[in-house]
């Protein structure tokens, strides 16, 4: 389980529910139910992605993009190829 990758994410906060929309270029587009207030959307994004990937919460961390919709998350335990397999275009 030593593999990890950086995943580009286009986050859409305040969605009716959290969901993976699909790929937008190299970025995974993800709708997040939480509002973009006090880091709650970032926290919800990491929790949601960890659950979607079947990983513990601590395996998904925000690397860049605290206040941006364009984010980079580190995913420990999966390669980018694994993620692309789980979410084909």
**Please, what's the b/e burial string for 54-85 (b: 16 or more CB within 10 A of its CB; e: otherwise)?**
ebeeebbebeebeeeeebebebbbbebeebee
CB 11 within 8 A of CB 45: yes
Calculate what percentage of the chain has a pLDDT beyond 70: 98
Tally: H helices and E strands in the chain: 2, 5
Which domains are seen in the chain, by residue range? Answer: 4-82 (3.30.1200.10)
Residue 5 has pLDDT above 90, yes or no: yes
Average pLDDT over residues 22-43: 95
Average pLDDT over residues 5-17: 97
């Amino acid at each position: 389980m030593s593999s990890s990758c950086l995943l580009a994410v286009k986050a859409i906060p305040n969605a009716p529910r959290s969901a993976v929309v699909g790929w937008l270029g190299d970025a995974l587009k993800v709708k997040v139910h939480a509002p973009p207030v006090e880091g709650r959307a970032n926290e919800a994004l990491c929790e949601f992605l960890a659950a979607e990937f079947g990983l513990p919460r601590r395996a998904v961390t925000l690397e860049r993009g605290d206040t941006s919709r364009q984010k980079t998350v580190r995913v420990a335990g999966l390669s980018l190829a694994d993620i692309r397999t789980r979410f084909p275009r």
